[in-house]
Structure 1
Amino acid sequence: MTFYAVGKPNKEFRTIEGEASAQLNKRAGEVIVEVDQTGLRGKISADGKSIVLHVASMEEELDKIRQRRTSLLARCDFILMPDAPFTAAEVEEWKAYRMELRDITDTQPETKFEDIVWPEPPFPLP
């Protein structure tokens, strides 16, 4: 399948699958540029013949990392509850895992989200 970036020059574009759909979704003053995939972010070039991709800032990367970390921490919060059905040794394993998650932005600084090596949980949760 072929994808197309549709938008005005020097403006953000949207990606549409198929030339016919791109033509149907094209508005006044917009151009269509063939692209090799969907999910791209950026702008149509000034001349309207290509795209200029958006490169995520390190702060944007850190935001994505923090969101994922928060989600992973939330999944195992209950393990630290006093009535959780885990042994003291298991709880210690989870504490170590949680510490690795909390430290991830310090242990892997200046790393893009897709390159982060996430720690493995001690064992699958019930």
Structure 2
Amino acid sequence: MDAMTDRPVPSVLTGMKRGVRHRCPNCGEGKLYSRYLKVEFDCEACGHHLAAYPADDGPAYFTILIVGHLFVAPLLLFPFIWQASPWLVAPLTILPLAALTLMLLPRVKGAVIGALWANGLRKASDAPGG
């Protein structure tokens, strides 16, 4: 419990799980996005100000880190990557990796927003008392 407000301290894992599901980290019910990566201004279910969380470049960085380390690096271990024609390898690797990156980016951004929510990190202009 938070001593100042008598409400439970939010869990980082809870916020991240809600964000990965594209839901408001505060209530878990409202939509997080109005478009592909455009965060809703306020939650439609609880009224929480969602635009206050500055995800910035973090989600892109983490998405590249995940795709690069978990998929690209192991792919380089297969001999066909080095032996086949580049005209065959390029589209067979770049297109799925681009699709995977575009699929992961909103989920990672939601997780980052959920972690920011749980830790109480907001834009300075949206901080309580600021």
Q: Normalising TM by the smaller chain, what interval?
A: 0.3 to 0.5
Q: Normalising by structure 2, report the TM-score.
A: 0.33
The structure, 1 or 2, with the larger RCO (C-alpha pairs under 8 Å, 6+ apart) is 2
Q: Normalising by structure 1, report the TM-score.
A: 0.34
Q: Which of 1 and 2 has greater Rg?
A: 1
Q: Which structure carries more helix by proportion?
A: 2
Q: Which structure carries more strand by proportion?
A: 1
